[in-house]
Structure 1
């Protein structure tokens, strides 16, 4: 059996709070296989987003190991983590995080340029076409709807063809119709490029599309559910 794409062993996360240290994650052990779609569910404050951030090296685990594609992220410095994410990960946030002074095309091309891709703009244009925004390449975020901005963010995350795609409440700021369109795109693009998808969601219908769901409660894995056979 091939090595997992993501492997967490006894991971804890402790952050500083006003009244002292706060335990966010407690001894999380978890493997995610190549091509898997994993949904992280649970009540607000259960540690879902924190776990996703630890998987992406955006939060450093307080103890334990976080392996991604065989690299221990807990042993990398900030520059090393940034390079690893640039080369292997795509991240989609609920709040889009687009650069307001850049057009849609420039927003999508930027990570490709930083990676030294000579075809950055043509690949960015192709990614925008894939998410149905070829007519919006020259528009700035403020000129686009929330659904369009999220599609730009998704194009930006997928354009480098990442091995791992992390999505934190990707439909949280969208209405039902736009949210469904983003969900369809997320799974279609993941399947097309063979990316391993891990997403945080409160939406049962979104979790149901994942091949496995993990429910967190108070920073611990409460239950795991493989998708029932079709």
Structure 2
């Protein structure tokens, strides 16, 4: 990413998907600029397009129209292989539902995307990342042996292990009780601060959004300052 580049820059981005009764407009002409190191909380009702916004920014969903630059790169111009390599080096994603591989240990889950990206010290990085979220004693445990909070911390470790420029977090506490969720969020903001990465966070929790340096609202596929 060159000096002066936005971490995330959307211009006129729309997403339209087919539906049973015709095309459904998920995102509508979204303009958004997020600076490097900024933390942005996105709030809005269910169905507003919040998760779709993250999926488009990550390249997991293709925008129907508009321009999308992430870490200075034109995401819309990349093929699937280039997008996978780009995410591996620049974007970490924290999912609400953890998305851990049941047959892999915590260490293997964190190391997997690094191995796919051919990072030579994948397991060393994975171990360091798990230690950073307080799971040095859980390296060899499988997801079924971990609590929900521990599974989400594995998700955090996986997202940060590649030392990405940008972290996208989709309701990271949605499946956790309040106390456990607060512990996970403390880890998330601590890691973001220590690494200097950009954080784009989707949440229904106003207090969580208020922890970000800027808050946005979404409704009917449109983004506005909150």
Fold conserved (TM > 0.5)?
Answer: yes
**Match of residue 30 from structure 2:** 28
For residue 115 of structure 1, report the CA deviation from its aligned partner.
2.0
Is 1:195 aligned with 2:197? yes
Unaligned runs of 5+ in 1: 226-230
For residue 117 of structure 1, report the CA deviation from its aligned partner.
2.0
Normalised to the residue count of structure 1, the TM-score between the two structures is: 0.95
Which whole-Å CA distance do the structure 1 matches of 2:54 and 2:125 have between them? 27
**Match of residue 105 from structure 2:** 103
**Match of residue 207 from structure 1:** 209
Which whole-Å CA distance do the structure 1 matches of 2:63 and 2:89 have between them? 21
RMSD over aligned CA atoms reads 1.0
Which whole-Å CA distance do the structure 1 matches of 2:7 and 2:120 have between them? 28
Per-residue deviation, residues 102-159 of structure 1 (Å, max 9, x unmatched): 0000001111222222221121111111111111110000111111000001101101
Q: Give secondary structure in 2 for the equivalent of 1:148.
A: helix
For residue 52 of structure 1, report the CA deviation from its aligned partner.
1.1
Count of paired positions: 224
Q: Give secondary structure in 2 for the equivalent of 1:112.
A: helix
Which whole-Å CA distance do the structure 2 matches of 1:134 and 1:156 have between them? 14
Is 1:79 aligned with 2:81? yes
Unaligned runs of 5+ in 2: none
Is 1:41 aligned with 2:43? yes
Is 1:92 aligned with 2:94? yes
For residue 61 of structure 1, report the CA deviation from its aligned partner.
0.4
Is 1:224 aligned with 2:221? no
Q: Give secondary structure in 1 for the equivalent of 2:24.
A: strand
Which whole-Å CA distance do the structure 1 matches of 2:176 and 2:97 have between them? 10
Which whole-Å CA distance do the structure 1 matches of 2:63 and 2:120 have between them? 35
For residue 41 of structure 1, report the CA deviation from its aligned partner.
0.5
Which whole-Å CA distance do the structure 2 matches of 1:117 and 1:72 have between them? 24
Is 1:58 aligned with 2:60? yes
